Amino acid sequence: MASAAKTVWFLRHSQPVFSRQFKRFQSSEVRQGFLGTVGNTPLIHLKKISENTGCTILAKAEFLNSGGSVKDRAALFLIKDAQEKGLIGPGGTVVEGTAGNTGIGLAHMCLALGYKCVIYMPNNQSQEKIDALTTLGADVRPVPVAPFTDPNNYNHQARRFAESINNAVWTNQFDNTANRRAHIETTGPEIWRQTDGKVDAVTFGTGTGGTLAGVSMYLKDRNPKIKAILADPEGSVLYNWIKHGKLEREGTGSITEGIGQGRVTDNLKGADIDDAVHVTDKLAVEMTFRLLHEEGFFVGASSGLNVSAAVQVAQMLGPGHTIVTCLCDTGQRYYAKLFSRSVLESRGVLESIPEQYRSSLHD
């Protein structure tokens, strides 16, 4: 049989086999492409930290999303929202202002969906994030740090660029409530299911407000007694907004990235937040190294802040309660800064790390 004829015969006679194989893998155990890998992350019992509090401290392993962070959920729903509204067509451009992780999630999605990706970000973010975005094909545009009220704030620059070109959408993660919808439809239900509804409080650091707002809105709809606690780093106004109704900063800037805020975003508006805890850089860094050396998790400082906040919430509620938070991303994205002896020393937080844990530091 000639080569071409063999090929035609093979395609004709093997098609039913391929069809049967395809149907065989339409189960919940098979993820459909990159988008199918977002969500359904494990809920982890932090054993030693729980024992120290007398409570059950649980953390969603958000670093196991394929883009490597909790922001993959928001990225997926921001693009989904743009598609549903007809704001972007084939080959279009997704534009966002981000401190890094949402951009990384969007860049992955854009590769999977055939879109171009342009990211505006403050120029004080980790080099690891910039390198990751570039590797993912994003057009990365670091700009000088400026407050939201300044027209040169990275978010405003992202919006103006998207408006200047055809077939482009500014996904607007801070005020587009598709962000919190991601957590109403995925993270909240997962926590409810994974705890069998036995959760007393949730606490998350807040940048856009999507995670805390979305999770709390879903869970409080199931059980209004569940507490939603905002975890706030140094230099943010949200702690004082929740506690005293004032947009006043508590401390100066933080070593954490992507959390803390100078305003109340649309994602956070309307959410029923019960209380707030303030987490210093010293506490966040100490917990980051405890998570590494006591629990085995190599995560970033926002994860340390979250778990430190969960410990504070456990102390507020007393023994016997279940508190849920999340491990946002991996420490590799902050290695040059967060795990640098000289950087931590210059920021006055080196002493917060127990001596026996400092072997993880470089230089």
Task: Give one DSSP letter per residue of 44-107, joined into a string.
Answer: EE-HHHHHHHTSEEEEEEGGGSTTSSTHHHHHHHHHHHHHHTT---TT-EEEEE-SSHHHHHHH
Catalytic residues: 71
- Report the alpha-carbon distance of residue 7 to residue 2 in Å, rounded: 9
* Radius of gyration of the CA atoms of the chain, in A: 22
Task: Report which of 85, 86, 121, 87 is spatially closest to residue 101, judged by C-alpha positions.
Answer: 121
What is the side-by-side order of every strand in the sheet holding 139-143? 139-143, 116-122, 93-97, 168-170
Angle at Cα 187 formed by Cα 186 and Cα 192, nearest 5°?
100
Residue 76, number of CB atoms within 10 A of its CB: 25
Task: Report which of 138, 143, 151, 148 is spatially closest to residue 124, judged by C-alpha positions.
Answer: 143
- Report the alpha-carbon distance of residue 207 to residue 277 in Å, rounded: 15
Coil, strand or helix at 352: helix
Helices 71-84, 101-113: axis angle to 10 degrees equals: 50
Helices 127-135, 101-113: axis angle to 10 degrees equals: 0
Residues paired with residue 228 on neighbouring β-strands, in sequence order: 202
